[in-house]
Amino acid sequence: MMNFETRTGPDLGVASPQYPTQGVPEWYRDAKLGFFVHWGLYSVPAWAVQHGDGVNIPTEDAYAWHQYAEWYGNTVRIPGSPTWERHQRLYGPGVSYEDLADRWDASAFDAGAFVGELVDAGARYIVPTTKHHEGFCLWGTGTTGFNAVRRGPRRDLIAEFHDATRRAGARFGVYYSGALDWHVSDFPAIESDTDLFRFRRNDAHFARYSAAQVDELIERFAPDVLWNDIEWPDGGKGEEDYAVAALLRRYFSRVPEGVVNDRWGVPYHGFLTREYTHIPDIVEHPWESTRGLGYSFGYNQAEDERHSLSGAALVRLLVDVVAKNGNLLINVGPAADGSIPELQRQAMREMGAWLSVNGGAVYGTRPWIRAAERSGAPRSYTRSDGRVHLHALDPVAGTIELPAELAATADARWADGTTAVLETRPDGTASAEIPAALRSAPVAVLTVAG
pLDDT, one tens digit per residue, over 67-100 is 999 999 999 999 999 999 999 999 999 999 999 9
β 259-260/412-414 pair status: unpaired
* pLDDT of 179: 94
Question: Which residues, given as ranges, of the chain have pLDDT below 50?
Answer: none
Helix, strand or coil, per DSSP, at residue 317: helix
61 DSSP assignment: G
CA angle 122, 128, 129 (to 5 degrees): 150
**Contacts of residue 184, Cβ cutoff 8 Å, sequence gap at least 6:** 135, 144, 201, 206, 209
CB burial readout 295-320, b (16+ within 10 A) else e: bbbbbbebbeeebbbbbbebbbbbbb
- H or E element: which one contains 194? helix 193-198
3-state class (DSSP) for residue 198: helix
pLDDT of 14: 63
Give the angle 376-377-378 at the CA atoms, nearest 5°: 110
| 390 strand-pairing partners | 381, 446
What is the separation, in whole angstroms, between the first and last Cα of the chain?
Answer: 37
Distance CA 364, CA 387 (A): 12
DSSP letter for 311, please. Answer: H
Confidence (pLDDT) at 340: 98
pLDDT (0 to 100) of residue 58: 82
Write down the pLDDT at residue 10.
74
